[in-house]
């Protein structure tokens, strides 16, 4: 690790040693990372990844940290902060699809992966472009939103995403269309290739009335504030929505609203959220998730089949699995 630090310093790539990860995720939980790299350019990002691979050092690409739970012991390796990338936002007018008929054009927004979704939505509003209103308030970055096909209130990235430039460490940079990314509920091609890095994305938007866009954004944000525990640190919705059900409703019906382990609690406001009441540890959250899974299984055993693997939704003849949406990073 010392050799890697020396090379980063020699090449002018900023980093911090033993950086507390609780400061870089919305759960406010997590021990220190051995190295917290802050590449500012695409070239520096590629170089950090290359150095890690050359030296056999584990690395993790971090955006806004809004769907992440870091271990209490931290991360033994390099956490790469993509929000440090100085890749902004650009607008392209009257863009034509390949092979499109004359006059079939759209307005495009190209945004860097480290840009916050809220900033992208605000920029679209300022340019009277509609289509991203649903994403206003989602606490993530452009890269993370593409990676997991982020969505809310009936909208999702696949409805507006045109393409994304993705770095595959073994192949180089490829531009993938929305179709090639194979977006579905909280899934994309990239979830099957965790080593891949979104560099920037192009969105297809439509000219609209700025007042109507602003009103829609305000309405959706008001809904969030009224129904979600935004005043507490969390990773957003803790469980993926089982097909045909609402996770929060199943959890509430199982009597888990307000259930507490240490500093972690099932929100009294919305049972689909596990919150950090101030002193929660990763161990607290994991134990609380386990208890919720068991309680939901007991309460809905004829409907839901509980499977221990946290990261995969499984359907069988008897029901569905309540799967944690938050990603635990070790």
Clarify whether 237 is annotated catalytic.
Answer: yes
Instruction: Say which of 237, 267, 286, 323 is annotated catalytic.
Output: 237
Structure tokens, 90:
């650009």
Clarify whether 294 is annotated catalytic.
Answer: no
Tell me how far apart the alpha carbons of residues 51 and 76 are, in angstroms, rounded to a whole number: 16
Q: For strands 151-152 and 155-156, give the pairing.
A: antiparallel
Count CB neighbours of 229 within 10 A: 17
Tell me how far apart the alpha carbons of residues 26 and 113 are, in angstroms, rounded to a whole number: 18
Clarify whether 325 is annotated catalytic.
Answer: yes
Instruction: Say which of 156, 252, 323, 325 is annotated catalytic.
Output: 325
Instruction: Say which of 156, 186, 188, 241 is annotated catalytic.
Output: 186
Q: What angle (nearest 5°) sits at the alpha carbon of residue 281, between those of residues 280 and 286? A: 105
Indicate the SS3 state at residue 211.
Answer: helix
Q: How many helices (H) and strands (E) does the chain have?
A: 8, 20
Q: For strands 75-81 and 32-37, give the pairing.
A: parallel
- Annotate 87-145 with DSSP letters as a single string: --EEEEEEEEPTTPPTT-EEEEEEEETTSBHHHHHHHHHHTTEES-GGGTT--SBHHHH
- Annotate 111-124 with DSSP letters as a single string: EETTSBHHHHHHHH
Tell me how far apart the alpha carbons of residues 129 and 155 are, in angstroms, rounded to a whole number: 16
- DSSP bridge pairs for 304: 320
Q: Which residues are part of the catalytic machinery?
A: 186, 237, 325
């Amino acid at each position: 690790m010392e050799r890697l630090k020396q090379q980063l310093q020699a090449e002018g790539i900023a980093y911090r040693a033993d950086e507390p990860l609780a400061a870089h995720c919305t759960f406010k939980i997590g021990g220190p990372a051995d190295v917290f790299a802050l590449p500012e350019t695409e070239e520096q990002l590629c170089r950090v990844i290359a150095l890690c691979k050359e030296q056999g050092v584990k690395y993790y690409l971090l955006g806004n940290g809004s769907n992440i739970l870091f271990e209490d012991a931290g991360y033994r390796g390099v956490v790469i902060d993509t929000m440090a990338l100085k890749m902004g936002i650009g607008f392209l007018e009257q863009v034509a699809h390949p092979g499109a008929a004359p006059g079939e054009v759209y307005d495009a927004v190209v945004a860097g992966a480290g840009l916050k979704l809220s900033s992208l939505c605000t920029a679209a509003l300022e340019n009277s472009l509609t289509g991203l209103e649903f994403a206003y308030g989602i606490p993530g970055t452009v890269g993370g939103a593409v990676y997991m096909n982020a969505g809310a209130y009936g909208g999702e990235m696949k409805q507006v995403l045109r393409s994304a430039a993705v770095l595959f460490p073994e192949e180089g940079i490829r531009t993938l269309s929305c179709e090639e990314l194979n977006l579905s509920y909280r899934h994309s091609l990239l979830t099957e290739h965790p080593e891949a890095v979104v560099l920037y994305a192009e969105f297809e938007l439509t000219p609209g009335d700025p007042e109507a866009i602003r009103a829609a954004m305000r309405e959706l944000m008001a809904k969030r504030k009224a129904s979600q525990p935004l005043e507490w640190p969390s990773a957003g919705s803790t469980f993926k929505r089982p097909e045909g059900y609402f996770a929060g409703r199943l959890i509430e019906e199982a009597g888990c609203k307000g259930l507490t382990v240490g500093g972690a609690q099932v929100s009294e406001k919305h049972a689909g959220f596990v919150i950090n009441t101030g002193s929660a540890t990763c161990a607290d959250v994991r134990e609380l998730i386990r208890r919720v899974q068991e309680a939901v299984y007991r309460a809905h055993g004829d409907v839901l089949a509980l499977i221990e693997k946290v990261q995969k939704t499984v359907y069988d003849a008897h029901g569905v699995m309540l799967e944690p949406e938050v990603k635990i990073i070790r």
